[in-house]
Amino acid sequence: MLPAPPFCAPHPIRKGFALRLFLAILFAVVAVGALGFRYLTRMPGPQHKGTLPQLTQPELEVRSNLQRHVSQLAGSIGERNLRRYEALLVARDYISAQLAAGGYRVNRQTYQSVGRSVDNVEVEVRGSVSAHEIVIIGAHYDTVVGTPGANDNGSGVAAVLELARMFRATEPRRTLRFVFFVNEEPPYFQSEEMGSWQYARRSKDRGENIKAMFSIETIGYYSDEPDSQQYPSTLAALYPKTANFIGFVSNVGSAGLLRRAVERFRKSTPMPAEGAAAPEAITGVGWSDQWSFWKHGYPGVMVTDTALYRYPHYHASTDTPDKLDYDRTARVVTGLAAIVRDLAGL
């Protein structure tokens, strides 16, 4: 019998090599994290800088129509919610009448909320090639209690009315829907009482293939004053301090749609635009109707002037039509039209 070999441990990895391997893995993790962070917060496309050009003739028409709609909603009608139920119905009927006058067949999704009938209002431009693929552009038409809601969300409603007008006579490859949601504001916010929740749930139940949902939310206020823009603390170091841009916000799962939208906006429109795909836990990220679509598995983006992070009249009785910048809002609507054309295949 041969003598047993002397005991020896398995061949060790040299300490220097182990350290280098650990550092390489750590570097790779950090690099991937940095690239991911950049992907979520740094948007493609050339950012507009400098003086804004004069409005074109089509933009002047958009501006006039926006001002007319906001004046009707926040001036003549005023506060509109279930506490002022008749005014809510008048707003619904105004939106329906504007759409019908433009040649649309108007549909309503009616449901019961705290013992009253409420309605989402919808029109559609049927797709010519991929009709089963749907792009939704929406805005809520109710207001928080105590405010006439010129910016929140008369500006969004006016924008969607204008976009519906622009695309009425088109033949998109995908189906376009323009939807006006009820019950976005508290006490229904982020609950099943929201009009957008009811709509998204119905879409899910029907198996509808919604490729994109854009929530147009409070888009009418801008400022060139230094330090006029605020943010949640987690985003404050990443974005401009001047409130002269339009914002695009999504959850992380909708980052691809967000980036496509911002790139198209920047390439088509002389108006600064910023974008962020962020966790829903960050304050404000889920503060509109796109939240309902996220919860049902659909991609969605909020388009916003950032509301309370810049607008001094947010949720106040002073949110009146005279506070809005209709020139820059008209530019935003023009840029949104370019995004819709892109997604619709026009």
What string of DSSP letters covers 33-82? HHHHHHHHHS--SPPP-SPPPPPPHHHHHHHHHHHHHHIIIIIII---BT
> Which tokens is 59 given?
């933009």
User: Which one, of 340, 320, 309, lies nearest residue 155 by Cα?
Assistant: 320
> Which tokens is 110 given?
């009616």
174-to-126, 129, 223, 307, 346 alpha-carbon distances in Å: 7, 7, 36, 31, 9
Tokens 């099943």 belong to which residue? 192
Residue 96 contacts residue 106 (beta carbons within 8 Å): yes
77-101 tens-digit pLDDT: 999 999 999 999 999 999 999 999 9
Question: What are 32-39's contacts with CB under 8 Å, separation 24+?
Answer: 39/255, 39/259, 39/277
254 φ, ψ (degrees, to nearest 5) = -105, 20
Residue 306 contacts residue 317 (beta carbons within 8 Å): no
CATH number of this structure's domain 56-344, picked from the four choices 3.40.50.2300, 2.60.120.10, 3.40.630.10, 3.50.50.60: 3.40.630.10
> Which tokens is 35 given?
């690239």
Give the pLDDT of residue 41. Answer: 83
Say yes or no to pLDDT of 17 above 90: no
In the three-class reduction of DSSP (H, G, I as helix; E, B as strand; rest coil), residue 279 is classed as coil
- The continuous run of DSSP H or E covering 211 comes out as strand 209-216
Give the pLDDT of residue 30. Answer: 42
Q: Give 178's DSSP letter.
A: E
Q: What amino acid occupies position 103?
A: G
Tokens 């005023």 belong to which residue? 78
Residue 148 contacts residue 320 (beta carbons within 8 Å): yes
Say yes or no to pLDDT of 24 above 50: no
Query: Would you say the pTM of this structure is higher than 0.85?
Result: yes
Give the pLDDT of residue 152. Answer: 98
Q: Give 136's DSSP letter.
A: E
Lowest mean pLDDT among 2-16, 145-159, 222-236, 264-278: 2-16
Average confidence score pLDDT of the chain: 92
pLDDT band, very low/low/confident/very high, at 37 (cuts 50, 70, 90): low
Say yes or no to pLDDT of 157 above 80: yes
> Which tokens is 26 given?
């750590």
Give the pLDDT of residue 126. Answer: 98
As a whole number of angstroms, the distance between CA 336 and CA 137 comes to 10
